[in-house]
A = this chain, B = another copy of it.
Amino acid sequence: MHWNLDQLACLLAAAEHGSFSAAARKLGKAQSAVSTAIAHLEVDLGLTLFERSGRTPTLTAAGAAMVSEAREILRQCDQLQGRALALASGEEPRLTLAVDEALPYPPLIDTLLALAERWPALELSLLNGAQAEIPHWVDDGTADLGVLFSQPTLPATLAVRQIARLSQTVIVAASHSLARRPTVRLSTLSRYRQLVVASPLGGNRQVRLSPRVWQLNSYYAIAELVAQGIGWALVPEHIAAYPMYRELLRRLTISELPDPPSVGVELVHRRAGAQGPIARWLQDELSARLSR
């Protein structure tokens, strides 16, 4: 393989302009350069690319086949060059996104679809985690960007930005004795076991209404146990509406709290790490789609 990209470019230009001279003018070279380039290419490939009987050379069938191969190669070279330019201007070659597994999926999926379309060559890693794992991954560099539920404390190295609030609801098993009443008082509720999200890493600032509390690091685990009748919990609406549990759960209205406290959704990234254009776009997009 002794030929090079310049020779392919000559071939393409000659095929497109119909003559070596015109190709040379287009390429800003001397005619002799194009002529010898194509002659060498023909020797290297062992093919006659142009029929030179007439006034202007005409592509042979083999030449046409080589032109389409060459065109594809040069297109890919342009692509490499473009990619290099984008990377040089700070665009991320890869990105790791950490999201809390209990976030509503549709806006995340939509965002990722838009991301794939806009930056087809980006290498993405998506980490699903529970609660305090998210800021931890971002902090230690495992992830570049994190989306999580509001945490009581976060490492000081992280920049936080609240992007949405999700309304919550109190759930209990359909089979639970509490489920029989449409409205309950706080004092009634506090007699039963409450399940709250918390993790050994971060603290917990979720509202505690009952002295009898179990802590779990996943809303799904909470919903699962609540469905089994082990207690009640305050969870985001979309968790209560999750198809797998919906039949097994009932929502409670609390007389003192007709609108239970909402939970915030936050975006975090390292203060130190420079944000590339894709990360910035992703933040805006996630923010827009999650807050709708």
Contacts and interface: CB of A to CB of B under 8 A. Distances in A.
A73 B80 contact: yes
A87 interface: yes
Per assembly, the copies of the chain total 2
A92 B92 CA distance: 45
Given A5-B4, A85-B46, A69 B79 contact: yes
Given A61-B94, A69-B80, A73-B77, A45 B88 contact: yes
A92 B64 CA distance: 12
Interface in A60-114: 61-62, 64-66, 69-70, 72-73, 76-81, 83-85, 87-88, 92-94
Interface of A: 1, 4-6, 45-47, 61-62, 64-66, 69-70, 72-73, 76-81, 83-85, 87-88, 92-94, 121, 123
A123 B63 CA distance: 13
A94 B68 CA distance: 13
Given A62-B88, A64-B93, A73-B77, 8 more contacts: A5-B5, A45-B84, A66-B80, A66-B84, A69-B79, A72-B76, A73-B73, A73-B80
A102 B276 CA distance: 62
11 contacts: A1-B77, A4-B5, A4-B6, A45-B88, A46-B84, A61-B93, A64-B94, A65-B94, A66-B87, A69-B79, A73-B76
Contacts of A6: 4
A254 to B, nearest CB: 50
Closest 7 CB pairs of A and B: A46-B88, A65-B93, A45-B84, A69-B80, A61-B93, A62-B87, A73-B76
Contacts of A87: 47, 62, 65-66
